[in-house]
Amino acid sequence: MNNDHLTIDLLPANDDTLWRCVARTGEHALAFAAPSLVIDGERVAMRPASLKPSVEPRTLRNGVVEHQWRGDVGHVGDGLSITITFRVAADSPVVRFRYTIESKRPRRLTNRTAGDVPTYAQFSLSAWPDVTEVRLSEFVDLVHSFAPNEVPVRQKEFDASLGIMGPILLAGDGHAHVLFAYEHGSTFPDAYLRFDLTADRTVTLNGVKGNCLNGQLLGPSDPFESVWFDVAIVAGHRDQIATQFREFVRLHQCENLETRKPYVFYNTWNFQERNFNWHKKPYLADMRQERILAEIEVAHRMGIEVFVIDTGWFAHTGDWQVNPDRFTDNLRTVKQRLDQHGMKLGLWFDSAAALDSAAYKEHRDCVTRQGDGEPKVHEIWETPASLRLCLVSRYWRRFADELIRLSREVGVTYFKWDAISQYDCDASGHNHGGPEHSVDERRDACAYQLPIYLSKIVERLTEACPGAIVDFDMTERGRCFGLSFLAVGKFFLVNNGPYFWDFNIPRANIADGNANLLFYPGRARPWFMRYPLAFDRWIPSNLFLTHYLPDDPAGSQDNCVASLVLGQNGIWGDLLAISPEGVKRIGDGVAAYKAVRDDVAAAPPVRNGTTGATPEWHEKLNPATGRGIVCAFANVPGTYVYVTEHPVAMGEPWCHDGVRVERLPDGRAKISATFVADQGAKMTVFGN
């Protein structure tokens, strides 16, 4: 197996190496030992005598080619086998792979001690002196959001036999870089897989907890399947491998490329919050057809493409029938109006089921439990009393099938999943352990399997409804944040940012009862929202939906539009309160962005200046075309000058007032942005 970047060599008879990834130049390689499991009390290395193709290669919907190689492990007649599935894109140096272990006769996995965990990969970094751990799931309380962190791994960490979480491990030798990553998800430092280091610079990727249960069946219908892993070798410096991995996530990791399109989104939730906090009305007071139809007209003029009705559209959680009192015709009129404007319909969901729903009555055994306490009955945003059901149980199919039904009956193509925490359940009898396992074992197994089951739900949905998009809400710590879900969907990253109490302001000091610190127009909210754009170095920013406020005045609107076009692509607020001039101002900026947004999505980020400082420049120009956007932010009036990193497209750029562009002899642009009082952002669009 090979492409323009690398070759995969299978070496099953080798005692030390099962397979290796080799750069096409032959100068750099990374070799992997066979994985191992503890089966019936004995650790077994999954090293076959030979590997043969088990099926014909197949081309996936995203153009990636899947290869499967299978080999028998142990003595003839043992019935134990390993299958390695590789996914290779013709134009990418990143290979995706996973292991499947099967047995023709029933066996049991052993997990009695800390040493009984699965070992997935082992490789040496002795030839790679510059090592970096790329953390993706640190929750930064300052901005109340997940954010990436690149941490150097020095020899002293190897000497100390440190364990590091990743999920990305990067190493360079001055000429090239290698990358290894695993696709799972949890909030740092709560690791379920871990890179364990030794002084000789050997790296072993081990399971930590929850990967398998003691006594878990390994049989003809019960294979053990690893999570997906990613490996790459790229000539050049760290920025180049980051760009290649970013392109892999954008185009090759996920089969459903609809999730990668940089649509512009609107969500009703902020208006509902304002109704509750400012106008002292119920959250659902105005969630009615007349209001939604009026919002759709404004959203259309602003350039919105996906219109999301948040909580309250349904009569009961679990059954997810449209509320007939609020929408008298099952959302038909709403869908027709959206269709007229070329907009998509999105709806909000969580894992709860109302006590009077058929979903609950048919799945009482799937209720989430924690310890010996009784499950907590609660209203879901002013809808009937509900209980949460475990998605790592047989309920997962019912939930997926409800989404499929809604897509077919109502025309929903976007699904926002909320309030799905990693540690909701330790119940016995679901798909994460029985009475023979401790509460801790069942809890960890559920938490480990949750991102896997979420992916199964999305795969079932998109197989039946190709093009459906699922956003997984990551607005609080304790969510399973990582690479796993990005293989099937995208993230809803930031809600309103920090709460007052995140900054040690007591609840009693919040005069109006609104806990949201960044609930108002102006430049402050975008400071916080732009902070996680640091992900864009490794993962495209349009996979991290974040909502900006469209409120007047003009300076605030420019700030929010110039921020959202960097990729987060979300708007929410009181659309009917925006002035006609404000609606047009937003619409003009969004229209200019949409002309180049595919280039913006493809462009690796270039940043100059600290987030929230003066000035702060963001360049999103596609190096291949020169098309894209440069945005400047400032808190102090003055003129600030920037020279683009990349050459820019020919033609007259679209600019905010106060921006002057000079084309330099080398094709780059010199941008001068003049800010006066009450202006906080300037946007320049090349190639519109």
Q: Strands 80-88, 94-103: parallel, antiparallel or unpaired by DSSP?
A: antiparallel
Q: Given a cut of 80, is residue 75 above it in pLDDT?
A: no
pLDDT band of 74, cuts 50, 70, 90: confident
Q: What average pLDDT does range 418-424 have in this prediction? A: 95
Residues 6+ apart with CB under 8 A from 427: 367, 368, 369, 390, 393, 442
Q: What is the pLDDT of residue 511?
A: 73
The residue among 591, 592, 603 whose CA lies nearest residue 648 is: 603
The pLDDT tens digits of the residues spanning 221-231 come to 999 999 999 99
Q: What is the pLDDT of residue 509?
A: 78
**Where in 46-126 does DSSP place strands (E)?**
52-53, 58-59, 65-73, 80-88, 94-103, 107-108, 119-124
Q: What is the pLDDT of residue 310?
A: 98
Q: What average pLDDT does range 367-389 have in this prediction? A: 94
Q: What average pLDDT does range 159-182 have in this prediction? A: 97
Q: What is the pLDDT of residue 513?
A: 82
Strand ranges across the sheet with 202-207: 42-45, 36-39, 119-124, 202-207, 193-197, 163-164
DSSP string, 540-591: -GGGEEEEE---SSHHHHHHHHHHHTTTTEEEES-GGGS-HHHHHHHHHHHH
Residues in a beta bridge with 499: 516
Q: What is the pLDDT of residue 76?
A: 63
The pLDDT tens digits of the residues spanning 41-53 come to 999 999 999 999 9
The residue among 622, 604, 608, 611 whose CA lies nearest residue 688 is: 622
* Averaged pLDDT of the chain: 96
Q: What is the pLDDT of residue 164?
A: 98
Q: What average pLDDT does range 339-348 have in this prediction? A: 98
Q: What average pLDDT does range 138-156 have in this prediction? A: 98
The pLDDT tens digits of the residues spanning 381-408 come to 999 999 999 999 999 999 999 999 999 9
Q: What is the pLDDT of residue 13?
A: 82
Q: What average pLDDT does range 240-250 have in this prediction? A: 98
The pLDDT tens digits of the residues spanning 96-137 come to 999 999 999 999 999 999 999 999 999 999 999 999 999 999
Q: What average pLDDT does range 227-254 have in this prediction? A: 97
- Portion of the chain with pLDDT greater than 90, in percent: 95
Q: What is the pLDDT of residue 562?
A: 98
Q: How many residues does the chain have?
A: 688
Q: What is the pLDDT of residue 362?
A: 98
Comparing 76-90, 132-146, 625-639, the range with the smallest average pLDDT is: 76-90
- Portion of the chain with pLDDT greater than 70, in percent: 100
pLDDT band of 246, cuts 50, 70, 90: very high
The pLDDT tens digits of the residues spanning 477-498 come to 999 999 999 999 999 999 999 9
Number of H helices, E strands in the chain: 12, 41
Give the whole-angstrom CA distance, residue 327 versus residue 318: 18
The pTM of this model reads 0.97
The pLDDT tens digits of the residues spanning 631-684 come to 999 999 999 999 999 999 999 999 999 999 999 999 999 999 999 998 999 999
Kind and range of the H or E element at 620?
strand 616-621
Q: Given a cut of 90, is residue 605 above it in pLDDT?
A: yes
